[in-house]
Amino acid sequence: MNSPHEMLNRFTKSGIMAILRSVDYHNIIPALEALNEGGIETIEISLVTPNAPQILKELHESLGSRILLGAGTVLDAESARAAIFAGVDFVISPVLSFDVLNISRRYGKMTFAGAFTATEALTAWENGSDAVKIFPAMPAGPEYMKALHAPLPQIPLIPVGGVSLENMEAFMNAGSIAVAAGSNLVSSKMIKEGSYDEIKQNALRWVTEMQRIREKKDKQG
């Protein structure tokens, strides 16, 4: 089993997380395979999805190490434990829950607590969050992310909520280590209709844009 540090490095290297919520049970595995073929390897399944623990278990068994599989919208210790026992690699919460952080650390899982203010972000980091999910990232936007990052450069920040192909560069330039996106990257409609090639092509666009952004930053030094 990889350590949280190793998993964070893998996620940071890829730079993009796809978030799926309330998706159709029968289409989810081919949808994730399409995302993976498009270059996305970090995927969060929100626990608001019906039968989420069972879905997570089946995804873990079928896709294994091909992806980093996480549970999102984790609000309490019981939900975190159920997701961990289903085989997830990481746990994400939209809020700062010490119970979720403690359970995730106990089982050696990467965990991202949710925060919006500098105080919340620092508290999450000091209590073991491997990175901090800034939620909602919009409408505050990249300028707010930049303002948070300035006094807290040691904390890995991930914008969630409103990230798009068009504003991804601004968020990365504001100090984000990676981005996470839901319907702008893969919508429930795409999954429900079985539009797997569209899912793959959209994933490729996001991955290509992230590569362009990073190459541009490398050239600028």
41, 109, 133, 169: the catalytic one is 133
| Residue 189 falls in the annotated catalytic set | no
DSSP string, 188-199: HHHHHTT-HHHH
- Nearest to residue 81, comparing CAs of 115, 123, 109, 55? 109
Residue 44, H or E segment: strand 42-46
| Residue 109 falls in the annotated catalytic set | no
44, 109, 169, 200: the catalytic one is 44
Q: Are 42 and 16 in contact (CB under 8 A)?
A: yes
> Cα(40)–Cα(67) distance, rounded to whole angstroms?
8
Q: Which residues are designated catalytic?
A: 44, 133
